[in-house]
Structure 1
């Protein structure tokens, strides 16, 4: 893995088939040890810096902070983060998994699940929170852990094939509803959750419609993750307010593109 080039993707046909069928996939050793050490340094700096362009979801001590200490668009205040938020290997992997003609960047976010009084991230889909028109947009998240993760410190769990159930109502993270109530037979054996522990430097990709959950952190150290949202080229804006698109001059019904949403990978390249 140490010798993997910037653009070389570790994605195999087995990864692609699993992702397409189940709506998520585990990819081990996405980063080399050298890259992991560098990203840890950059992400620590970015999460602790009071920047003007990145955005924190909640202040320390807030109710949402206890679920996630989250900061969006870290790359805009930390140049080193741009190296990883726009990493060619990540975008090439997203392109291969989705089968899209092109992959654009939507946003990055640091996801710290703090120690002590931590809360689980409830079962939810991502797509209902994004300002897009398409119900089956094919948008996806890369969830890259900087620490070994398991059920004690906030690893992820996914419901296989749930991306085929369609776009549901968004869940209130502070007063969560049972997402399985929206789906007939949602707790059948076919939809039994799969817990995904990971080694540091490994990741998962999941479809924006896939049900997922993160355990609480009962350890004495933060669980540190970089997540990146990718979208197939051509996904269109629905005109609704969103922290990432507000003030960008996007028009409802038009494709999301421009300097903040660059095309990172192209199938014709």
Structure 2
């Protein structure tokens, strides 16, 4: 099981919307997950987004929803202790799993991860929703480690989802363009006007962050280092099912035994991981 979060880590999550968790995962997971990265880059699955297939440079690659068919990801979800970390940070009596998200930027990938907020992309409402981004490689902010606008979760401002990289063939093109929500401010052009915090990471370090906090990442400026991470998404006590225009259609109303407004107690789709059932 996971270690206990310190009072400072919990305070950082509550006040900043993000907490840095050094060496929070057993090292055995890093080798297993890096092997999985190589496997998926060579043989991607159904929910892949690959901007430059087959290349070892200038390639931004993501894959999602592997947990139901990939034994390594499933083992990590249920046995790494991440759910207990999420429970502590969110002060939640239960934690359910939403989805896994593998994120890779090969060397010399200039494409940034644009500043955004997760909530508008996901079919849920609630404040106890978070992600745990696990570093699988040593990565600096200049090499695409994550950055956050500290405290931006507190206002509960709902930002309009945008298409990443403005690609017309991007897999989430159909999700976005929904009405409602404010446009994300141009944080990159006015960095001095925002309280931005970033974390250089080593394999096994993680950041846990609220689905409401604004975050992004630069391109990978390294000429020889891959940036790889695995993000897992977690649902706490106040999360409710809320499919809406602009949200991820991968899991839709047709896939769940829920009505809008229900707590996501569908164990086939959103299994309870903590406490263990």
TM-score range, shorter chain: 0.7 to 0.9
In structure 2, distance between residues paired with 1:192 and 1:59: 31
Q: Deviations over 1:179-225 (max 9, x none)?
A: 2369xx9965xx41012111111000010111111110122332110
2:183 is aligned with 1:174: no
Q: With structure 1 as the length reference, what TM-score do the two structures score?
A: 0.82
Q: How many residues align?
A: 252
**Structure 2 partner of 1:149:** 139
Where does residue 3 of structure 1 map in the other structure?
A: none
Q: For 1:1-269, what aligned pairs fall within 5 Å after superposition?
A: 7-51=1-45, 54-58=46-50, 60=52, 68-132=60-124, 134=125, 136-166=126-156, 167-175=158-166, 179-180=184-185, 188=193, 191-219=194-222, 220-240=224-244, 242-246=248-252, 247-249=254-256, 250-258=258-266, 259-266=268-275
8 Å contact 1:47–1:110 — kept in the other structure?
no
> SS in structure 2 opposite 1:14?
helix
1:59 and 1:159 map into 2 onto residues whose CA distance is 27
> What is the rounded CA distance, in whole Å, between the counterparts of 1:34 and 1:212 in structure 2?
28
Instruction: Identify unmatched segments of 5+ residues in structure 2.
Output: 168-181
CA distance in 1, matches of 2:205, 2:86: 15
Would you say the 8 A contact 2:21–2:207 is kept in 1? yes
**Could you tell me how far apart the structure 1 residues matched to 2:251 and 2:28 are?**
33
**What's the offset of the Cα at 1:14?**
1.5
Q: Taking structure 2 as the reference length, what is the TM-score of the superposition?
A: 0.80
CA distance in 2, matches of 1:67, 1:162: 30
Deviation at 1:99, TM superposition (A): 0.3
**CA deviation digits over 1:217-261, x for unaligned, max 9?**
122332110000001145222233634413413432222232121
Rounded Cα–Cα distance in structure 1 between residues aligned with 2:2 and 2:37: 23
